[in-house]
Amino acid sequence: MMKKLLININFFLYLLLLINPLMIAAEENKNTLSMEELAIKIMPEFAYHPNDVKKEHPPLLIGYQGTMRNQSEQPQIGQIEIPLPIDAKNFRIGYVADYSSDLSKVYEIEYILDLEKRTISWKTSKEIKPNDVYKFVIEFYTDNIMVENDKKSLPYQFKSFTDIGLFNVSFIEPIKAEKVALDPAPEEKNTHGDEKGVHSYFYQGIKAGEEKSFTLTYERIETTPTVEMMEKQEQQPLDTIENKKSPAILSVAAVSGIGLIAAGAFVFLMRRKRPQS
């Protein structure tokens, strides 16, 4: 009996010796890439997905722009996995890319959607050097805007999937939106100059599992998305475009992140409508 017990103990210790290095390695790599900054841009009635045929419901475009930092002493390359609201009404991906830290190069990347885990994953397109940053963009569409005649409402909730150093959420008013209200109301200092159509919230030190909730309400009789309205006015000087307070393309230089997300979507749609040379 004692001999059998000793054999079992020795076998258990042997397993620990096999498992322990793996546990140590996992712990060392746990915080290899930290989420230094995450910016979320919420753009109601900005544009339809390029593949949308039916346009009976006002579209919602949401963009994630993330900055991760390699905190290890070794170069890193591998899989990135981010949770997304895949179960949202009529969810569809628009654009996924990563790019160089100086924004000079953009790489559209192949991705995998895991419907069961509700995540998107991809392999980094370049090696991330120690203490270097890795930037990515995810754009997706949903039909989560609630409609009651001309009144629109959008409840939005974000649950942090990791610790985030700097976190901000910006709501972008569509052109010709009226009686726009946000709950909670953003601080007045968080508007961007004269671009009153951009409403932002800034947070520092968000922890994994922490939740932020917002509700946007507005009235809009116009049903044409912002991008299509801007297309019609593209030949006019910027300072003559109707409703200057509406951000869209006017805020490209003023709002961090909008240049790659919203303006990128605008340019993409413009190219699709022009004849190929």
The CATH number of whichever domain residue 92 belongs to comes to: 2.60.40
Residue 35's pLDDT band, with cuts at 50, 70 and 90, is very high
In the prediction, which pLDDT does 196 show?
A: 67
And the tokens for 233? 């006015």
Quote the CA–CA distance of 68 and 58 in Å, as a whole number: 33
Per-residue pLDDT tens digits for 129-151: 888 889 998 999 999 999 998 89
Residue 12 resides in a domain: no
Per-residue pLDDT tens digits for 194-227: 456 889 999 999 999 999 999 999 999 999 998 8
In the prediction, which pLDDT does 195 show?
A: 56
| Residue pair 140/91 in contact by the 8 Å Cβ criterion | yes
Residue 43 resides in a domain: yes
Quote the CA–CA distance of 139 and 65 in Å, as a whole number: 9
In the prediction, which pLDDT does 20 show?
A: 40
Section 253-264 average pLDDT: 40
Note if the bond before 184 is cis, omega within 30 degrees: yes
Q: Is the pTM of this model over 0.85?
A: no
Question: In 3-state terms, what secondary structure has residue 173?
Answer: coil
Residue 230's pLDDT band, with cuts at 50, 70 and 90, is confident
CA-based nearest residue to 164, from 249, 83, 81, 68: 68
Instruction: Please name the amino acid found at residue 133.
Output: V
Residue 116 resides in a domain: yes
Query: What is the residue range of 218's domain?
Result: 31-273
Instruction: Please report, rounded to a whole number, the percentage of residues in the chain having pLDDT higher than 70.
Output: 68
Residue 259's pLDDT band, with cuts at 50, 70 and 90, is very low
Residue 37 resides in a domain: yes
Structure-model confidence comparison of residues 39 and 106, the more confident one = 39
Residue 16 resides in a domain: no
Residue 14 resides in a domain: no
Count of domains in the chain?
1
Phi-psi region at 11: left, alpha or beta (left = phi > 0; alpha = psi -120 to 50): alpha
In the prediction, which pLDDT does 1 show?
A: 55
Quote the CA–CA distance of 108 and 95 in Å, as a whole number: 8
Residue 75's pLDDT band, with cuts at 50, 70 and 90, is confident
Residue 1 resides in a domain: no
- 92-99 vs 133-142, strand pairing mode: antiparallel
